């Protein structure tokens, strides 16, 4: 069974690389907003090094002052977003002008972190794969929007992330988590 990329459902793939003018994007963001979700945009030009990336996420998403400005803290703050100033709406985070990230040494780690945060937020599972009882799941997906670089060019760099599997889907590249530590459990009603 093939799983198509979505920004409106609590399932993988968690990260998508797509052209900025891909019709899929407008269809998905329109549907997310129609369902009451929100679209948040970050500028890929501001994410060229980890410290600038952490600062941009903290600023745009309103992370709490105790945000640790490291990869683990980014996973935690994205996963716990509803608990510290974020509202309970589903969200898609779009990274505009992401072409320049292709050469970033940290890209594989960054995609892995985004996948981990989305996995935790969408499924609200603990490290043992057991559903959290006190935190409702919310839809969270990430899309890298490209203007000149084909999504397939990101395959090798993205696949270098820990436990990241990539798939070419139509004109998009999708990334999700793989392996026994990341069960892709269907959301509970």
Cis peptide upstream of residue 178 (ω within 30 degrees of 0): no
- State the Cα–Cα distance between residues 93 and 90, nearest whole angstrom: 10
What's the whole-number mean pLDDT along residues 104-119? Answer: 94
Q: Residue 87 pLDDT > 70, yes or no?
A: no
What's the whole-number mean pLDDT along residues 123-146? Answer: 80
What's the whole-number mean pLDDT along residues 25-51? Answer: 96
Q: Residue 150 pLDDT > 90, yes or no?
A: yes
What's the whole-number mean pLDDT along residues 130-137? Answer: 74
pLDDT of residue 83: 46
- Which of 30-34, 64-68, 120-124, 127-131 bottoms out in mean pLDDT, i.e. has the lowest? 127-131
- State the Cα–Cα distance between residues 110 and 124, nearest whole angstrom: 20
Reading the block at residue 149, the tokens are 């670089």
Q: Residue 23 pLDDT > 90, yes or no?
A: yes
Q: Residue 188 pLDDT > 60, yes or no?
A: no
- State the Cα–Cα distance between residues 114 and 27, nearest whole angstrom: 22
pLDDT of residue 1: 35
Q: Residue 105 pLDDT > 80, yes or no?
A: yes
pLDDT of residue 126: 60
What's the whole-number mean pLDDT along residues 160-165? Answer: 89
At 137, is the pLDDT very low, low, confident or very high (cuts 50, 70, 90)? confident
């Amino acid at each position: 069974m093939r799983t198509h990329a979505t920004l409106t459902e609590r399932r993988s793939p968690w990260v998508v690389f797509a052209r900025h003018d891909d019709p899929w994007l407008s269809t998905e963001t329109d549907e997310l907003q129609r369902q009451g979700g929100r679209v948040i945009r970050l500028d890929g030009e501001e994410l060229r090094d980890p410290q600038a990336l952490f600062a941009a996420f903290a600023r745009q998403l309103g992370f709490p002052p105790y945000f640790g400005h490291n990869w683990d803290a980014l996973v935690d703050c994205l996963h716990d977003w509803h608990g510290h100033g974020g509202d309970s709406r589903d969200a898609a985070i779009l990274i505009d002008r992401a072409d320049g990230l292709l050469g970033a040494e940290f890209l594989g780690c960054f995609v892995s972190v985004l996948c981990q945060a989305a996995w935790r937020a969408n499924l609200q599972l603990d490290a043992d794969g057991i559903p959290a009882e006190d935190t409702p799941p919310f839809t969270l997906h990430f899309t890298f929007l490209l203007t000149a670089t084909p999504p397939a060019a990101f395959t090798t760099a993205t696949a270098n992330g820990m436990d990241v599997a990539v798939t070419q889907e139509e004109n998009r590249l999708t990334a999700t988590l793989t392996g026994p530590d990341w069960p892709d459990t269907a959301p509970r009603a």
